[in-house]
C-alpha cells in the first residue's frame, strides 16, 4: 500500500525557484550589458570583483573543453534533477521548509543555468572572490543557489534522522 501524500504539498515552494531564476537572469542581463569581458571591476578591494566570464562546463569548469556535447549533457542532467526534486516537493508537506527550501534553491539554480546554456551556449559567471593571489572560480546567483541548496539537503538530511515515535503512555 502506497503512503498517502501530504496535503497541502510543498509545490508552492516552486515560487522560490522562480524567484531564483528571475534574479539570476536579471543579474546576467545586467552583466552582459554593463560589465567588460575578462576585466575585474572591484567591489571590495582585496576580496570581491565583478568579473564577466563564461563557463561551457559545470562546477569549476568541469568538462569545459569537451567539444560541445557537454551543453546537452548538463542540460539533460539539470532538467532531470530538477524534475526529481519537484517530484519530491510534491510528496513533501508544505510546512517542511527543511526539505522544501533546499530543493527549491537547487531547482531554481539548475534551471537558471540551463537557460544560459540554451540561450548563450555557456553559463555567464560574474562574481569573483579572492584573497591575495588566491582566486575562487567565478560564479553566479544560480551557482550560489545550487550550492546553498545542496548544503541544506546534506545538513538537514544529516541532522533530521528518523522521526521519533511518540511515547505511548497507555498500559496494556
Catalytic site positions? 125, 143
Strand 134-135 to 123-131 pairing: antiparallel
Of residues 89, 63, 67, 91, the one with CA closest to residue 149: 89
In degrees rounded to 5, what are phi and psi of residue 167?
A: -65, 135
Cα distances (angstroms) measured from residue 44 to each of 30, 36, 50, 91, 113:
19, 18, 10, 43, 26
Amino acid at each position: 500500500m502506497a503512503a498517502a501524500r501530504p496535503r497541502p504539498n510543498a509545490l508552492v515552494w516552486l515560487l522560490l525557484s522562480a524567484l531564483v531564476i528571475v534574479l539570476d537572469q536579471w543579474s546576467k542581463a545586467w552583466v552582459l550589458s554593463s560589465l567588460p569581458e575578462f576585466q575585474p571591476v572591484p567591489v571590495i578591494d582585496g576580496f570581491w570583483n565583478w568579473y564577466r566570464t563564461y563557463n561551457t562546463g559545470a562546477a569549476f569548469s568541469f568538462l569545459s573543453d569537451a567539444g560541445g556535447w557537454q551543453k546537452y549533457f548538463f542540460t539533460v542532467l539539470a532538467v532531470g534533477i530538477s524534475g526529481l526534486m519537484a517530484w519530491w516537493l510534491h510528496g513533501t508537506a508544505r510546512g517542511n521548509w527543511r526539505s522544501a527550501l533546499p530543493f527549491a534553491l537547487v531547482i531554481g539554480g539548475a534551471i537558471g543555468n540551463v537557460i544560459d546554456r540554451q540561450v548563450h551556449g555557456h553559463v555567464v559567471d560574474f562574481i569573483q572572490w579572492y584573497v591575495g593571489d588566491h582566486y575562487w572560480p567565478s560564479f553566479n546567483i544560480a551557482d550560489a543557489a545550487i550550492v546553498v541548496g545542496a548544503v541544506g539537503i546534506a545538513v538537514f538530511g544529516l541532522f533530521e534522522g528518523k522521526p521519533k515515535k511518540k511515547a505511548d503512555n497507555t498500559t496494556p
